[in-house]
A and B are shown apart, each in its own frame.
Chain A
Amino acid sequence: MAIDEGRVWALQTLGPDGVLVRKQISSIIRDCHEKMANAQAEADMKHTGVYGQIWRKCLDEFVTVLGRLPSAEIIPRRGYKLVSFNGVVLFPWRFARERSADIGSRPFAVSDTRVSLFAEEREPTHQRLDIEFEHPELSEQERELLDAESKALEEALSSRSRVVVVPYASNPSALYSVDWGEATLGGDGFLTFASMESLLEVGTGSLVDVDLTDESFSDGPIPRPDLGVKGDEADGEVDGRP
């Protein structure tokens, strides 16, 4: 997807803040990578579990940073918070630790929470809100019945939801890729992307770019010292001072 197409797609999919979202995602993930890699280095552990928490860090930072945009909507989902624009949920997904992995080869639906992204849900805490109050008259059996009813109601209410997934591949030594695209979840648990764009080079954060037309330190003619033969000159001032 070319840059201009990418902006158009972002606007069509996410609404007026789409362009800003597109620009900020890469720097959010870079920043998270930097911080988690530093934390891993500071921890001085062989095990990379510290860095492994980057999935949670990215999830939180998406909400914190992108949530400030005017049209952002924060939606709770099974104990987590997600940010959505124009009714489209954004979900960062660390799909690989290595450079060469193929996004399509990695299963996405490895948890109920992930599956639930693709279905409208009322927050479970809300479902249970009705019975958070004291109901001493209800027996344990009756409570379970109420829960089952709530679940059935929830399933009846659910419908498909639009999701933009942001897959990224990284490990403590490198951030290899950041992409994004609208995805649908297949029955086999794998994602299918309608389109995909790399965000790694979008908004890299340099204030000025090196003008490659400028000559580098090793370009151009080499100056040579101005030497000359003295011939039969007498030994005189030879200290080079003018």
Chain B
Amino acid sequence: MDDRDTLFSLLGSAELPSLDAVADAFDPARLTQARFAAGLSKAKLAELVGITPAAIGQYESRVVTPRRDVLPVLARELDVPVGYFATGRPIGRVDGSEAHFRSLRSTTARDRSKAIAFIEQVWELTFALEKKVRFPNVDLPVLDRQHADPISAAHTLREHWGLGVKPVKHLVALTESHGIVVSLLTLANADVARVGAFSTSRLARPVVVVTPERAKSVFVYRFTVAHELGHLLLHGEAAPGDQQQEREADQFAAEFLTPRSQIVNLLPRTVNLSRLDELSRHWGVSVESLLLRMRETGSVSDASIRRGYQKLNHLRSSSLDAPEPVNAYPGEVPSMLAEAARLADQIGFTQIDLARELRWHPTRVREVLGVDDPRPTLRLVNDPSPE
């Protein structure tokens, strides 16, 4: 069941804005955002709506306003309520150069735009909730980015959060408790999944989004979150495609999760996978990450490392080494937004109110909150068609 503007819509017809009102308050940035969120080019959207690509360009550049009869079609094709296109609420604006993307080389500009639209929506939802719920203050150390290096930044964050030198427990819950929004994208969306993860510190409250692709293994997922923390601390201005920034974020993540001073004495002197698996489960990092650590320490040859990877791949292709899913680790599942929504609900600000304020379908609200649809699944049990 979806929540479109139908007879069964959760928003009463009296609450739906008139087409005149939307047209009068039409915000081109909202059309662009919705188009990016849907992953559509101007040409594709124009084809779906039945107008010219030039018309879409003119709507988005404020040259003309869409006709009244086009607005519902645009809304239907972009899967938003018509009211979404109207001004009157804060918009999280993130430029492509202000967000960091994992797997950038394998992603297209359209994928990145879609990811940015999602991160903007996460921020807008957070902003709407913050009117009703007090969130933790953002608690990140301030570094001199001109001179900061990834290793000392990792030490600084450990010290700032009082983590000592032990394994970082419940990384996502810890990150949220320090005021950073983490969202695990539940959309089975191939486009954004290719992005892997993304984050921005350009909005008032930093946001980290991880896609399902990175959540198949809790160890890869933790490293990804730590990688994004590295970006938030080290890189104010993102440089899309900058491999140096990616390397630095990886170095930060490795040092943050497995401080060299500790791990160097624990790594075996040969590629002993059972030992590495034991360490992996203790520190919450993948065996691959530990193999890289072994290479860094120079305790084994590159050939041995290569063989370690071959062994791992063999184990995985034989299904002898199944990944550990994130949802088996409650401390790694984002919960702050859902918990804030629950508190807001207690004071009468329901998910429907949230959807109304954001001008989203309620399904989208639940998606970004990371909560399940509480309604029962209905199915047709009697085929009314004549035999």
Residues of A within 8 A of B (CB): 30-31, 34, 37-38, 41-42, 173, 204-208, 210, 214-220, 222-231, 235, 238-242
Shortest CB-to-CB span from B360 to chain A, Å, is: 18
Q: Are A41 and B330 in contact (CB under 8 A)?
A: no
Q: Are A231 and B307 in contact (CB under 8 A)?
A: no
Given contacts A214-B166, A230-B133, contact A223 B270 (CB under 8 A): no
Asked if B177 lies at the interface with its beta carbon under 8 angstroms from chain A, I say yes
Of the candidates B177, B282, B339, the one having the most CB atoms from chain A within 10 angstroms of its own CB is B282
Q: Are B135 and A225 in contact (CB under 8 A)?
A: yes
Q: Are A34 and B271 in contact (CB under 8 A)?
A: yes
A217 contacts which of B138, B167, B269 (Cβ < 8 Å)? B167
When distances are taken between beta carbons in the complex, the residues of chain B under 8 Å from A34 are: 270-271, 304, 307
When distances are taken between beta carbons in the complex, the residues of chain A under 8 Å from B171 are: 217
Asked if B329 lies at the interface with its beta carbon under 8 angstroms from chain A, I say yes
* Minimum CB distance partner of B129 in chain A: A238
Q: Are B275 and A240 in contact (CB under 8 A)?
A: no
Bound CA span A223–B334, Å: 12
Q: Are B177 and A224 in contact (CB under 8 A)?
A: yes
Q: Are A218 and B127 in contact (CB under 8 A)?
A: no
Shortest CB-to-CB span from B140 to chain A, Å, is: 11
Residues of B within 8 A of A (CB): 127, 130-138, 166-171, 173-174, 176-177, 179, 204-205, 222, 265-266, 268-272, 275, 278-279, 281-284, 301, 303-304, 306-307, 310-311, 314, 329-332, 335-336, 339-340, 343-344, 346-347
B310 contacts which of A41, A219, A229 (Cβ < 8 Å)? A41
A229 contacts which of B133, B179, B284, B332 (Cβ < 8 Å)? B133
Q: Are B135 and A205 in contact (CB under 8 A)?
A: no
Bound CA span A229–B205, Å: 18
Shortest CB-to-CB span from B223 to chain A, Å, is: 12
Shortest CB-to-CB span from A41 to chain B, Å, is: 5
When distances are taken between beta carbons in the complex, the residues of chain B under 8 Å from A231 are: 347
Q: Are B138 and A240 in contact (CB under 8 A)?
A: yes
6 contacts between A and B (CB under 8 A): A207-B266, A215-B166, A218-B170, A224-B339, A225-B179, A228-B343
Q: Are B284 and A218 in contact (CB under 8 A)?
A: yes
Q: Are A206 and B133 in contact (CB under 8 A)?
A: no
Given contacts A217-B284, A218-B329, contact A207 B310 (CB under 8 A): no
Bound CA span A207–B266, Å: 7
When distances are taken between beta carbons in the complex, the residues of chain A under 8 Å from B127 are: 238
Given contacts A223-B170, A223-B174, A241-B138, contact A217 B336 (CB under 8 A): no
Q: Are A227 and B331 in contact (CB under 8 A)?
A: no
* Minimum CB distance partner of A218 in chain B: B329
Bound CA span A139–B186, Å: 92
Bound CA span A31–B314, Å: 21
Bound CA span A225–B304, Å: 43
Bound CA span A229–B347, Å: 8
Q: Are B137 and A217 in contact (CB under 8 A)?
A: no
Bound CA span A223–B339, Å: 13
Shortest CB-to-CB span from A199 to chain B, Å, is: 15
Q: Are B222 and A173 in contact (CB under 8 A)?
A: no
Shortest CB-to-CB span from A52 to chain B, Å, is: 17
Of the candidates B132, B171, B306, the one having the most CB atoms from chain A within 10 angstroms of its own CB is B132
Bound CA span A178–B75, Å: 70
* Minimum CB distance partner of B135 in chain A: A240
Q: Are B311 and A173 in contact (CB under 8 A)?
A: yes
The 9 A-B residue pairs whose C-beta atoms are closest, nearest first, are: A217-B284, A239-B204, A238-B130, A222-B331, A228-B134, A38-B303, A217-B167, A205-B269, A223-B177
Bound CA span A216–B340, Å: 28
